[in-house]
Structure 1
Amino acid sequence: MNLNLSILGSIVLRKFAFALAAASLALSLSACSKPAGSEMPTVASPQFGTVPEINFPAAPPPEVPVMKVLDDGNGKGEEVKDGDLVVVDYYGKVWGGALMPDSTITDAAGPRAISLAHPPIEGWKELRGVKVGQRVMLILPPSKAYGEMGASSIGVKKGDTLAYVVDVRLAVSADAASKFQVTPTNNPLPDGISIEADGQGAYTVNAVAAGSYPSQRSTAVYATGDGPAVKVGQGVIVKRVSTDWNTQTTAADWNAGELTSVSADSLELADLPLGSLVLVVTPATPTADPQATLLQLVAAYDTNR
């Protein structure tokens, strides 16, 4: 009888030990299944166009990029594609830290144009698939931000994770210039400079025969487009190609040309229709020869909010 009780007690103890081990394993697996940094910041004022505030959890940041839609807008905006130039307003903080001084939402200078073909940091490419009119939150680990170098000018140290709230205001595709019809103006160009069209949408700028160095900037409208007119105070997205004095560009240069943003007021582009081609000649600087630059106006946006 005592032997049987002893055997029964041993069996019960083994079952209890097994159950305890199983529970411990389940708890361990549960803890492992929750990824580090799975707790996300919260955003006060998540609506598009408002000044947000990012509040960080006590948990460590995620180790991979995270994109979360905060405000869907009307859901009908154009989708951002690979290689687009995007016009954005953003509010950025170092994880758990201070506001970065380059945040445009708190800057009266207006939104910023960023090329996704060659962005200032790799993480901006996470905007691919976002729609114009949406507000999103981007969490960028160091590998997608400023990495092991940091960026002291905006308060980013080595290995910092960044959090952005981003309003996507405009997306312009790399081939946007091709949608316009243009009409040459026959306006005179500076002596020794010529522009040629290849009939397939590409242009070359030839300054091989350019004469003496110019003393001041000048502009000449080479052709007018069929788009709406640029307004005073707007930002203008342009396709551009430049050549130094006494050299020339090729059609391949134009085809490979990237989009960038300029001020309508600074280059006197107001009232010109989109699609127009404008030659800008700039004088020499202490480190560079004069340049002849051909711009095609492909999009415009309001810089006020």
Structure 2
Amino acid sequence: MRPLARLLGPALVTGLLVACSGGGSGEDGLPTVTGEYGAKPAVRVEKGSKPSGKLASEVLSRGDGPKVRAGDLLVADYLGKNFRSRKVFDNSYDRGAPAAFPLKAGPGGVISGWVKSLAGVPVGSRVLLVAPPKDGYGKAGNAQAGIQASDSLVFVVDLIASYRSGQALPKSTPVEGLPAGLPKVEGEQDPKVTVPEGADPPTKPRTTVIATGTGPKVGPGRLGIVQYTAVSWDNKPLASTWQDGPQGVPVGGQQPSPFDLLVGLPVGSRVVLELPAQPGTDAATGSVAVVVDILGQHGPAKEKAT
């Protein structure tokens, strides 16, 4: 789910290394980029050119949204190209949906070149960056992507949105007359979920909106941005995003997911999902209750550009 998250060891660096001159791709030895924000970029690395060995970046077009902060969940379209081989090794444009990355270096995050180059840049911007090995995949490289230990990497990144850790649910209206036996949810931030004693485990997935949002309805094939807490039917903690921050999840895509149950629900809603146990397991302990806050949904950057 995070094709760029090679998870390097260097400490997080928050210094901004973004050039402020706009539209000058191809200057200062940087590759040339053609294409507008939201369109799949064409990246040309001149024959015979060599990377400087230093992290370099340029804002190709500047957006007018809020500035992205280190530690945010960043929603973006991107293309990655190997400076040496001049081959594209990954891009989100062909998949038709953006990706979401915690903008932090280290386990669970992205390469440090992204953090240093993108923190402080406004949402709606297109950024070109060239990351040397120490700000990319390091000495290990990435054999699966054809990246060697000495390779510098070229990225074009379209910033679509960002979400703060602990970001509150948008405005919503509590639902009255909830079904008896529904798992109980307490608290706004980092809510607690409790399955009532004696509640029958679900035999099929159930979705109950407990607070209705005012945003657009989540569509299939979108990237949903959520916070959630999950417990087993005997109230043992299973998972939560609240410590690390919001998470991007594909909704209604080719790979089935419990989050497909969010399709058609308004952004800003709080939802309880009751999920049956896997076949062959004890329903009394293997069933799951999840409270999900729907913070947003996103399509590709080209939608934002229109």
Common fold by TM > 0.5: yes
State the Cα deviation string for residues 157-202 of structure 1 (Å, max 9, x = none): 223221101111122222432443441344337x5x623323x534
The percent of aligned pairs where both chains have the same amino acid is 27
Partner of 2:56: 66
Query: Where do 5+ consecutive residues of structure 2 fail to align?
Result: 1-26, 254-259
Amino acid paired to 1:272: L
Partners of 2:80 and 2:91 within 8 A in 1: yes
Q: Partners in 1 of 2:160 and 2:273 — Cα distance?
A: 28
Report Cα offsets for 1:28-70 as digits up to 9, x if no partner.
Answer: xxxxxxxxxx953322314212332222353432333222111
- The aligned counterpart of 2:111 is 121
Name the SS for the 2:113 alignment partner. Answer: helix
- Match runs of 1:148-159 below 5 Å: 148-159=139-150
Match of 1:177 in 2: 168
Which structure dedicates a bigger proportion of its chain to helix? Answer: 1
Is residue 201 from structure 1 mapped to residue 189 from structure 2 by the alignment?
A: yes
Please list every run of 5 or more consecutive structure 1 residues that lacks an aligned counterpart in the other structure: 1-37
Deviation at 1:255, TM superposition (A): 4.2
CA offset at residue 214 of structure 1? 5.1
Residues 67 and 41 (structure 1), Cα distance of their counterparts in 2 relative to 1, 3 Å cut: closer
* 2:271 aligned with 1:278: yes
- The offset of 1:257, in angstroms, is 5.0
Alignment CA distance shift 1:121-1:201 (3 Å)? same
What's the TM-score once normalised by structure 2's chain length? 0.71
Number of the residue aligned with 1:17 = none
Cα pair 2:98 2:223 within 8 Å, conserved = no
Task: Count matched residues.
Answer: 260
Whether contact under 8 Å (1:87, 1:111) holds in the other structure is: yes
Q: SS in structure 2 opposite 1:148?
A: helix
2:10 aligns to what?
none
CA distance in 2, matches of 1:186, 1:249: 27
- Tell me: CA distance 1:204–1:162, structure 2 relative to 1, closer, same or farther (3 Å): same
Do the aligned partners of residues 269 and 140 (structure 1) sit closer, same or farther apart at CA in structure 2, a change above 3 Å counting?
same
Distance in 2 between the 1:291 and 1:63 partners? 50
**Distance (Å, rounded) in 2 between the aligned partners of 1:100 and 1:146:** 15
Alpha-carbon distance change, 303 to 44 in structure 1, aligned in 2, over 3 angstroms: closer
C-alpha spacing 1:63/1:217, structure 2 compared with 1 (3 Å): farther
Shifted more, 258-267 versus 154-163: the winner is 258-267
Larger Rg: 1
How many Å apart are 1:243 and its aligned residue?
Answer: 2.4
**1:87 alignment partner AA:** V
1:177 match: secondary structure: coil
**Deviation sequence 1:247-305 (CA, Å, 0-9, x none):** 3459xx6742521123443623244222211122344559x954332210111222484
Matched, 1:269 2:262: yes
In structure 1, C-alpha distance between the alignment counterparts of 2:152 and 2:198, rounded to whole Å: 50
Rate the CA distance shift 1:215–1:99 in 2: closer, same or farther, 3 A: farther
Tell me which of 19, 41, 64 is aligned to 1:52.
41
- Contact in 2 for aligned 1:48/1:134 (Cα 8 Å): yes
The 3 A distance-change label for structure 1 pair 78 and 165 is same
CA deviation after TM superposition for structure 1 residue 123, in Å: 2.8
Normalised by the length of structure 1, the TM-score is 0.71
Q: Which residue of 220, 227, 249 maps to 2:215?
A: 227
From 140, 160, 166, the equivalent of 2:151 is 160
Q: Residue 127 of structure 1 aligns to which amino acid in structure 2?
A: L
Cα contact 1:46–1:70 (8 A) shared by 2:
no
Q: Does structure 1 conserve the Cα–Cα contact (< 8 Å) formed by 2:81 and 2:89?
A: no
Query: Is 2:171–2:213's contact at 8 Å kept on the other side of the alignment?
Result: yes
Give the corresponding residue for 2:9.
none
Quote the residue 1:40 is aligned against.
29
Secondary structure of 1:133's match? coil
